[in-house]
Chains A and B, each alone.
Chain A
Amino acid sequence: MSGRARGKSALKSVMSRYYEYFLLPVGIAGFLYLWQYLSGFYDPFILPSPRLVWERSLEFFNQPQLFFMHFLTTLGEAGGGFCLGALSALPVSYFLAKKPVLERLLTPYFVGIQAVPIVALAPLLVIWFGFGIVSKVLVAALITFFSVLTTGIAGLRSTDPRLRELLAIMGATKWQIFFKLEFPSALPYIFSGLRLGGALAVIGAVSGEFAGAGKGLGYIVNFARGSFDTPLLFAAIIALAVLGIGFYLLFFIAEYLAIPWKRKR
């Protein structure tokens, strides 16, 4: 093979192995091009172009810390609410998994609360707990709680009864069975509930902000609507999307680290 041909095929093999890593930036660039193209067909107050959104963002958030204040506010509300909701849901799910009678008793109430869209409950919580961060954290916590609760119960009930019996023969105590069998066996379920809960927590935080807030990305959305500032609205939406993706990635990584036995080759 000539030197040039060898170089060409080497390049091809490198590209074919790593092409997956190129997909992400290419995908984003493609999306931006498409957006730019489509925005040409619409008024800027219906579908602003990416450049317009960028310029408006720079204008509104003239100092970086201004943006971070709003971003981190919503992040904090979602994160805090998530932790509160998830941490309180886990012991409750253990309790209810062990006592099906109790679970059956409480299920109608759970279903009822979950059925009400959080955007309707949020104003109620704001009235009760004020317009500060607390009410937003509680909204996020509420919505996370139920998500983690249902998956937690399902996970803890999913223990293979044969394994349970085997461990009993080995002489395991109730606590040992929990820590060494039930809990690890429930982890995949719990993590899927956590991942969902993370996304829901962001929704909860923003819903809380819609109902009354002075800062945060949800507040920016309200502000942009009131000022008919569609580019700013887009900026807020993009920031929220980044926030949501960040949460998702966080759990993806956490799951990867915590559940090595479910990794696919």
Chain B
Amino acid sequence: MNKKTFLLIISAFFLLFGCGLALSGPELKEVTLAMTYIPNVQFAPWYVAEAKGFFQEEGIKVNFDYRMDIDALQLVGAGHLDFAVAGGDQVITARSQGIPVTYLLSLFTKFPPSVVALEEAGIRKPQDLQGKKIGLPLYGTSLLATKAILRAAGIKESAVELVDIGYTQIASLTQGRVDAVVVFTNNEPQKLRAEGYRITEIPSWEYFSLVGHGLITGEKQISLAPQKVRAMVRATRKGMQYALAHPEEAFKITLSYLPELGEKQAVLEKQVFLASLKLWENEYTNRRGLGYSDPQAWHDSQRLMLEMGFIKKETPVDKLLNQSFLGE
């Protein structure tokens, strides 16, 4: 084809493209939510919010970005990403490293890690951990929870053997490589029980009052685009409320976002889903409202992390936590 025809085709393409852009519906602000994990049932509020049009109501369009792990936090702090899902302890740690992220809304009101063992091992109280081999990913949230439990029970770290097993917790426990493993309470324990294992569980939230995963954003975002933040927080909350009110429907919606799950797995994941729902509420949220967390708990937990050597410096709680967007 000659030059003229070629240019004609190219301009036609651009024209179409431009029209497509212009005609793509009403003004919806695009935001990115970094999930920091693979797609799974624990992200139910956001799946429900999208399916039920809550995002659209609030005037935003949310892109679920599964590409990143927890490194997303740095990108949120630098302003390259809008929102992310992260735990309270991770916000505290990030802030101590100078990464300006803020916690907006709490999903898991209790600290999720727990120490799980097979029933035969007889590990029912923290004291029973003395002299045992505990397998966990040796950093971050799981390590924090483990040390908090040991500290509260007065057990010296040298009295137990901490072994890094990455994310092979289920295999390591069932194969007897370790005596106990540290997992998230709503996840692996459900799966183990569903497989027929009898297990004991020592929850860490009894020893560490901090909240678990929630919605976070960067400091700059709050000052530069508060409308976006408000929209995101409100839509997420609506999603949570809806899921609590209509769990069966919410689970169905969630499944549609996880097409790779087979039938047998779907049954397992339902247990995880229901267990996760239970974590969204505690006394504090019953008093104050869904998504709220206690600033005092933040303060105490940060102090504990400092004492245990997980962070080098403290950050004022009003920088860590911003619950102003939760108000009706």
Contacts and interface: CB of A to CB of B under 8 A. Distances in A.
Contacts of B171: 127
A159 B163 CA distance: 51
B97 A212 contact: no
A228 B99 contact: yes
B69 interface: yes
A82 interface: no
A226 interface: yes
A226 B99 contact: no
Given A123-B168, A126-B166, A226 B77 contact: no
A130 B166 CA distance: 11
A213 to B, nearest CB: 5
A178 interface: no
B71 A225 contact: yes
B90 A228 contact: yes
Contacts of B77: 43, 45
A211 interface: yes
A127 B170 CA distance: 10
Contacts of A9: none
A62 to B, nearest CB: 13
Interface residues of B, number: 30
B155 interface: no
Contact of B138 (A45, A123, A223, A228): A223
B168 A228 contact: no
Contacts of A45: 74, 77-78, 94, 97-99
B58 interface: no
Nearest to A214: B164
Contacts of B70: 225-226, 228
B166 A227 contact: no
A42 B75 CA distance: 11
Interface string B300-321: 0000000000100000000000
Given A45-B77, A123-B166, A126-B168, A227 B140 contact: yes
B221 interface: no
A230 B74 contact: yes
B165 interface: yes
A227 B93 contact: yes
Interface in A168-224: 210-214, 219, 222-223
Interface in A130-165: 130-131
A238 interface: no
* Interface SS of A by simple majority: loop
Contacts of B138: 214, 219, 222-223
B123 interface: no
Contacts of A227: 93, 97, 139-140, 310
Name which of A210, A212, A214 has the most chain B CB atoms within 10 A of its CB.
A212
Contacts of A42: 78
A219 B164 contact: yes
B274 to A, nearest CB: 28
A56 to B, nearest CB: 10
A44 interface: yes
Nearest to B70: A225
A227 B138 CA distance: 11
A212 B142 CA distance: 14
Contacts of A211: 166, 168
Interface in B187-234: none
B168 A212 contact: yes
A127 B105 CA distance: 37
A67 to B, nearest CB: 18
B132 interface: no
Given A223-B138, A228-B93, A212 B98 contact: no
Given A45-B77, A46-B74, A222-B139, A228 B94 contact: yes
B165 A228 contact: no
A229 interface: yes
B12 to A, nearest CB: 41
B71 to A, nearest CB: 6
B73 interface: yes
B124 interface: no
A229 B177 contact: no
Contacts of A126: 165-166, 168
A205 B166 CA distance: 15
Given A43-B78, A219-B138, A225-B70, A213 B97 contact: no
A131 B163 contact: yes
Contacts of B172: 127
- Most chain B CB within 10 A, of A130, A223, A225, A226, is at A226
Given A213-B164, A219-B164, A227-B140, A130 B94 contact: no
Nearest to B312: A59
Nearest to A211: B166
A44 B163 contact: no
Q: Closest 6 CB pairs between A and B? A: A226-B139, A212-B166, A226-B140, A214-B164, A223-B139, A228-B94
21 contacts: A43-B99, A44-B98, A45-B94, A45-B99, A46-B78, A123-B168, A126-B165, A126-B166, A127-B171, A131-B164, A211-B166, A212-B166, A214-B138, A214-B164, A219-B138, A222-B138, A225-B139, A227-B140, A227-B310, A228-B90, A229-B97
